[in-house]
Amino acid sequence: MRAIWKGSITFGLVNVPVSLLPATHREELKFRLLRSTDLSPINYKRVAELDGKEVPWDQIVKGYEYEKGKFVVLKEEDFKRVDIEATQTIDIMDFVDVKQINPIFFHKPYYLEPQKGSARVYHLLRETLAQTGKIGVSKVVIRTRQHLAAIKPNGKLLALEVMHFADELIGTEEINVPEPGTVNKRELEMARTLVEQMTAKWDPARYTDEYRTALLDLIEKKVESGGRAAPAAKKASGSGKVIDLMTALRQSLDQASEKKPKKSASRAKPRPKRKAA
Residue 160 lies in a domain: yes
Domain for residue 254, yes or no?
no
| Global confidence as pTM | 0.69
Which residues in the chain come in under a pLDDT of 50?
264-277
Considering the domain boundaries, does residue 9 fall inside one? yes
**β-strand 157-163 against 106-114: which pairing, if any?**
antiparallel
Condensed to tens digits (0 to 9), the pLDDT of residues 162-200 reads 999 999 998 888 788 888 777 788 888 888 898 888 888
CATH number of the domain within which 19 lies: 2.40.290.10
Asked if residue 176 belongs to a domain, the reply is: no
Q: What pLDDT does 156 receive? A: 94
Three-state secondary structure readout of 134-167: EEEEEEEEECCEEEEEEEEEECCEEEEEEECCHH
**Separation CA 192–CA 198 (nearest Å):** 10
Q: Is residue 109 part of a domain?
A: yes
Residues in the chain: 277
Owning domain of residue 109: 5-25+81-166
The total domain count for the chain is: 1
Q: Residue 65 domain-assigned?
A: no
